[in-house]
C-alpha cells in the first residue's frame, strides 16, 4: 500500500521558471468521433456550446493568474487539435512536432508546424518511427524532461530527443491505459515539488519519480481518476479540473492557490486542463 503524506506547514518554494505563456486551440471543431483511449465514447455527445464556455473559462483563469494565452486556428477533420499539449515539444526556439501513434491524430501535425514556423520557431522533427506525443508525455522538472512511455509514446524516442535538443530526460513507464500520457500521472509544481499519481505508474517509474522529486504530493486513486494531475501551474496558482478537500488542503499548506475550472466536456475525450495547453516558454538546453 502507498502511504499518502501527512499534512504539514512549510515555507513556499520558488515557483517554476516556465508556464507563463501557453498555446491553446479554440474548440470550434472539437468532438468525440473515434475512440483511441478508454475515456472516449462516441455514443456520448459533446455539447459544443458548453465546451466553448469551458474553454473560455480556462483561458480566462490562465490570464487571471498572469499567463499569456496565444491561439492556433482549429481545422476541420482533426477534432482533437484542441488538445494542444500533444502538438509537440517547445524547447527554447525549437518546436519538436509530435509523432502520433494513432492515425486519427496524425493530421494535426502540418497545422501546428505551420503555426510554429510562422512564429519564428525552428522545426526539428524526430524520425517518423520515434513515436512521441508531445508535452502530454514530456514535462519539464528540475532541469530535465520527465517523459512517459509505453501507452502512447515509445521509450526509444527519448535518447534521440535528448541528443538532438541537448536536454536530459527521465523516462518513466506508465502502467494503466486510462492514464495514457504522463501529464495524467505527474504535475510539476514549484522547485522540487510535484503531484504524483502512484497508481498510474509502474513500480520502477514510481521509484524514479520519488527519487527525483524532493517534496512529492501523492494523489490517491480518486484524485487520480478526477484528473487532478492534469493541472496547470502559473506562478503559485494551480488551475485544476477538480480538487477534492484533502488535496486542496495539502496544496494550500504548501502555499499554492487551487483554482478549479470545469472541463467536463473535454474529459469525454480524456483531456483536462493540461491537455488543453502547451507551454511556449520552456528552456532546458545546456541544463
Name the residues annotated as catalytic: 181, 275
Beta strand 237-240 with 232-234 is antiparallel
Q: Are 58 and 273 in contact (CB under 8 A)?
A: yes
CA distances from 72 to 2, 28, 59, 95, 136 (A): 41, 11, 13, 15, 17
What does DSSP say about strands 215-218 and 232-234: parallel, antiparallel, or unpaired? unpaired
Nearest CA to 148 among 169, 123, 166, 117? 169
Q: Where are the alpha helices (DSSP H) in 65-202?
A: 103-106, 109-118, 157-165
**Cell, residue 78:** 482533426
- CA pseudo-torsion sign 175, 261, 21, 141: negative
Which residue has 502555499 as its cell numbers? 255
Amino acid at each position: 500500500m502507498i502511504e499518502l503524506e501527512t499534512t504539514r506547514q512549510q515555507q513556499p518554494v520558488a515557483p517554476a521558471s516556465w508556464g507563463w505563456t501557453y498555446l491553446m486551440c479554440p474548440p470550434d471543431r472539437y468532438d468525440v468521433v473515434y475512440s483511441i483511449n478508454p475515456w472516449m465514447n462516441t455514443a456520448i455527445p459533446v455539447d459544443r456550446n458548453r465546451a466553448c464556455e469551458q474553454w473560455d473559462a480556462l483561458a480566462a483563469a490562465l490570464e487571471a493568474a498572469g499567463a499569456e494565452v496565444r491561439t492556433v486556428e482549429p481545422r476541420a477533420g482533426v477534432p482533437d487539435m484542441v488538445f494542444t499539449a500533444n502538438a509537440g515539444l517547445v524547447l527554447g526556439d525549437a518546436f519538436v512536432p509530435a509523432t502520433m501513434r494513432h492515425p486519427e491524430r496524425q493530421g494535426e501535425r502540418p497545422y501546428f508546424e505551420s503555426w510554429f514556423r510562422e512564429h519564428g520557431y525552428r522545426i526539428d522533427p524526430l524520425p517518423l518511427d520515434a513515436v512521441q506525443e508531445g508535452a502530454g508525455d514530456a514535462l519539464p522538472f528540475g532541469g530535465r524532461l520527465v517523459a512517459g512511455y509505453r501507452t502512447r509514446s515509445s521509450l526509444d524516442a527519448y535518447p534521440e530527443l535528448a541528443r538532438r535538443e541537448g536536454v536530459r530526460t527521465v523516462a518513466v513507464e506508465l502502467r494503466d491505459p486510462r492514464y495514457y500520457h504522463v501529464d495524467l500521472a505527474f504535475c510539476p509544481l514549484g522547485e522540487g515539488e510535484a503531484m504524483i499519481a502512484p497508481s498510474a505508474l509502474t513500480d520502477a517509474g514510481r521509484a524514479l519519480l520519488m527519487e527525483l522529486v524532493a517534496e512529492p504530493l501523492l494523489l490517491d486513486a480518486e484524485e487520480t481518476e478526477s484528473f487532478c494531475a492534469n493541472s496547470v501551474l502559473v506562478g503559485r496558482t494551480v488551475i485544476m479540473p477538480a480538487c477534492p478537500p484533502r488535496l486542496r488542503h495539502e496544496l494550500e499548506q504548501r502555499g499554492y492557490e487551487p483554482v478549479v475550472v470545469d472541463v467536463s466536456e473535454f474529459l469525454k475525450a480524456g483531456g483536462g486542463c493540461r491537455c488543453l495547453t502547451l507551454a511556449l516558454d520552456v528552456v532546458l538546453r545546456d541544463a
